[in-house]
């Protein structure tokens, strides 16, 4: 068969049922074969959004999301989507068309070195220049993306590979890749540290969400009588209505979560890379704490925070090994009881009933009115941090956001991918007006493909997070942060064929959300919020929790 048909057949063999992309000249033979297959193709309005859609699909389905772009500008547009997936360890297969091998390096029409561009932002990278290697390469891409630490894999395919002949023998060739090495040699040392701990705390990161180890971690927490804090990427991996779960820690985290993180004597960190948004001033983080670091990627152990014990392996496997070793543990409940008490004290009333609408009120009503299996995605900025701090994730709820790269415009296309992965669930994107304007054209994609997601727009007329930093750290010298030409978002959404509501009173918030939940078409909820409301509490960058700016937060716990 020809290479184009071979690629389609290989995708089908990998159980790909949907993909996201925009065709171009070098991809026409592939798309001709795709049209005759049963793989559903979604046409976004921008290649970056194709990457985010594949990413959102992957995070919900737990299998690779596939996106494709043509050569040159198609590939360069795709880079941001792939980089976002890379920073958050999401298994995305990114296919790009390329000019013919005979003119590579000659500055042919729409030629760009996609191979080199993608190299720093992928787990692995291929360029196929021999048609005999095409089947092997596609199979390897899927294996690499989902073996060990998940991540995106890029395959660059010159146009003549699509028109070359592929033999049955080459199509039948099996491929293998090395399995990641586990290292649990420090398991007994870790168990001894945890057994002796008087103030143990568990911190879970994004690796826990990918391994679906949340139930096992709660068993371990109850066994250790230890509170659980989460990074932004782990929000939703453990139930936030459990009395031992203290919520998100870090720069905009809950005060009780940061208290536990900074006052424990042994910290069990699972599937987290200790980013600067969690540690604050790195030189002072964990100086009085013994750290047991669990990660599937050995390069993360000790990279940012030096620990006493490192365990290399999948979160689910390591946590079960720890549970087995700790079964007979008996310990004082003093620390556990204190943390549960502080957790109750830290649960503030954010049902703020005033106008203009406070963003906390919107998040409160989303927590109250979204179903227990809802999927929430976010854009990046104030909207993201309000959602992380105040939204309650429990049951089968999922929380999907761009953590590592912080990509504005991620949430809406990711919501479309998430909805396609789990169509029976309500999917809502918590957006800011800055982020939404970067990807608002995807309303066309949502309407065209009948993907009924809710866009909850927190509309304050500013690049809110940048404005907040200018206010706090640059004496309110505002530049390039206020939108002077913001569109009428209701009319914009309606122009694409979506439903839309403008909400300007706090008393209207709950009813708007209920309408969104019941909608069977894409719907925009334009919440006009107070432009002066900041995301607080906030620990300034490079500072410690003692320097936290609390704002309206009335934390009465011990000084952190």
Q: Are residues 393 and 460 in the same domain?
A: yes
Q: Are residues 364 and 335 in the same domain?
A: no
What local confidence, expressed as pLDDT, does residue 276 receive? Answer: 93
What local confidence, expressed as pLDDT, does residue 560 receive? Answer: 40
Q: Are residues 209 and 256 in the same domain?
A: yes
Q: Are residues 258 and 211 in the same domain?
A: yes
- The answer as to whether 426 is a domain residue is yes
- The answer as to whether 84 is a domain residue is yes
Enclosing H/E stretch for 368: helix 359-369
Q: Are residues 146 and 220 in the same domain?
A: no
Q: Is the dihedral of CA 27, 30, 31, 32 positive or negative?
A: positive
- The answer as to whether 182 is a domain residue is no
What local confidence, expressed as pLDDT, does residue 558 receive? Answer: 61
The residue range of the domain holding 159 is: 3-172
Q: State the pTM of this model.
A: 0.97
Q: Among 144, 172, 200, give the residue marking a domain's end.
A: 172
What local confidence, expressed as pLDDT, does residue 159 receive? Answer: 98
Q: CATH number of the domain that 60 lies in?
A: 3.40.50.970
Q: Are residues 434 and 319 in the same domain?
A: no
- In the chain, the number of structural domains is 3
Strands (E), 54-199: 65-69, 92-98, 124-127, 153-158
Q: Are residues 379 and 284 in the same domain?
A: no
Q: Are residues 132 and 227 in the same domain?
A: no
Q: Are residues 195 and 245 in the same domain?
A: yes
Enclosing H/E stretch for 10: helix 3-13
- The answer as to whether 17 is a domain residue is yes
Q: What is the mean pLDDT of each run of 10 residues along the chain (560 residues)?
A: 98 98 98 98 98 98 98 98 98 98 95 98 98 98 97 98 96 92 96 94 97 96 96 98 96 95 96 94 89 96 91 97 85 90 90 97 98 98 98 97 98 98 98 98 98 98 98 97 95 98 98 98 98 96 90 73
Backbone angles phi, psi at 66, to 5 degrees: -115, 130
Using DSSP's 3-state secondary structure scheme, residue 148 falls into coil
Q: CATH number of the domain that 340 lies in?
A: 3.40.50.1220
Taking the C-alpha atoms of residue 418 and residue 428, their distance in angstroms, rounded to an integer, is 10
Instruction: Answer for the pair 202, 221: CB distance below 8 angstroms, yes or no.
Output: yes
- The answer as to whether 201 is a domain residue is yes
- The answer as to whether 412 is a domain residue is yes
Q: Are residues 48 and 129 in the same domain?
A: yes
Q: Are residues 112 and 258 in the same domain?
A: no
- The answer as to whether 228 is a domain residue is yes
Q: Among 314, 345, 376, give the residue marking a domain's end.
A: 345
Q: Are residues 303 and 443 in the same domain?
A: no
- The answer as to whether 65 is a domain residue is yes
Taking the C-alpha atoms of residue 271 and residue 412, their distance in angstroms, rounded to an integer, is 26
């Amino acid at each position: 068969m020809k290479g184009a048909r071979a690629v389609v057949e290989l995708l089908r063999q990998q159980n790909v049922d949907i993909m996201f992309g925009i065709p171009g000249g070098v991809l026409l033979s592939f798309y001709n074969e795709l049209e005759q297959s049963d793989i559903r193709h979604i046409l976004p309005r921008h290649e970056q959004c194709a990457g985010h859609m594949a990413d959102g699909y992957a995070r919900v389905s737990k299998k690779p999301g596939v996106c494709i772009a043509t050569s040159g500008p198609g590939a360069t547009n795709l880079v941001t989507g792939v980089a976002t997936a890379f920073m958050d360890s999401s298994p995305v297969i990114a296919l790009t068309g390329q000019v013919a091998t005979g003119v590579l390096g000659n500055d042919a029409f729409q030629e760009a070195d996609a191979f080199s561009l993608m190299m720093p932002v992928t787990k692995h990278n291929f360029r196929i220049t021999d048609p005999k290697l095409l089947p092997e390469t596609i199979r390897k891409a899927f294996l690499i993306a989902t073996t060990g630490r998940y991540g995106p894999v890029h395959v660059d395919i010159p146009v003549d590979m699509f028109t070359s002949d592929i033999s049955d023998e080459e199509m039948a060739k099996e491929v293998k890749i090395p399995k990641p090495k586990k290292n649990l040699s420090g398991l007994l040392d870790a168990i001894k540290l945890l057994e002796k701990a008087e103030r143990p705390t568990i911190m879970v990161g994004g690796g826990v969400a990918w391994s679906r180890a949340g139930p096992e971690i709660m068993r371990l927490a109850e066994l250790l009588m230890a509170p659980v804090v989460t990074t932004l990427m782990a929000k939703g991996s453990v139930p936030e209505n459990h009395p031992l779960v203290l919520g998100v820690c870090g720069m905009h985290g809950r005060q009780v979560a940061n208290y536990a993180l900074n006052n424990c004597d042994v910290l069990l960190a699972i599937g987290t890379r200790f980013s600067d948004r969690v540690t604050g001033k790195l030189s002072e983080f964990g100086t009085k704490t013994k750290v047991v670091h669990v990660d599937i990627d050995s390069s993360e152990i000790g990279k940012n925070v030096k620990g006493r014990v490192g365990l290399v392996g999948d979160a689910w496997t390591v946590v079960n090994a720890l549970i087995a070793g700790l079964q007979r543990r008996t310990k004082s409940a003093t620390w556990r009881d204190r943390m549960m008490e502080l957790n109750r004290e830290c649960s503030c009333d954010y049902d703020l009933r005033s106008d203009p609408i406070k963003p906390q009120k919107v998040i409160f009503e989303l927590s109250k009115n979204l179903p227990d299996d809802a999927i929430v995605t976010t854009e990046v900025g104030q909207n993201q941090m309000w959602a992380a701090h105040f939204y309650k994730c429990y049951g089968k709820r999922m929380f999907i956001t761009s953590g590592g790269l912080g990509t504005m415009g991620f949430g809406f296309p990711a919501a479309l991918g998430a909805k396609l992965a789990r169509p029976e669930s309500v999917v809502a994107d918590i957006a800011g007006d800055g982020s939404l304007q970067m990807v608002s054209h995807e309303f066309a994609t949502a309407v065209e493909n009948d993907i009924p997601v809710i866009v909850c727009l927190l509309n304050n007329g500013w690049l809110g997070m940048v404005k907040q930093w200018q206010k706090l750290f640059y004496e309110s010298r505002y530049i390039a942060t206020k939108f002077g030409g913001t569109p009428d978002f209701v009319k914009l959404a309606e122009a694409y064929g979506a439903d839309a509501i403008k909400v300007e009173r706090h008393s209207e918030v709950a009813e708007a959300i209920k309408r969104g939940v019941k909608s069977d078409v894409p719907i925009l909820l334009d919440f006009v919020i107070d432009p002066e409301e900041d995301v607080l509490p906030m620990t300034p960058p490079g500072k410690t929790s003692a320097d936290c700016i609390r704002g309206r937060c009335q934390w009465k716990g011990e000084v952190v």
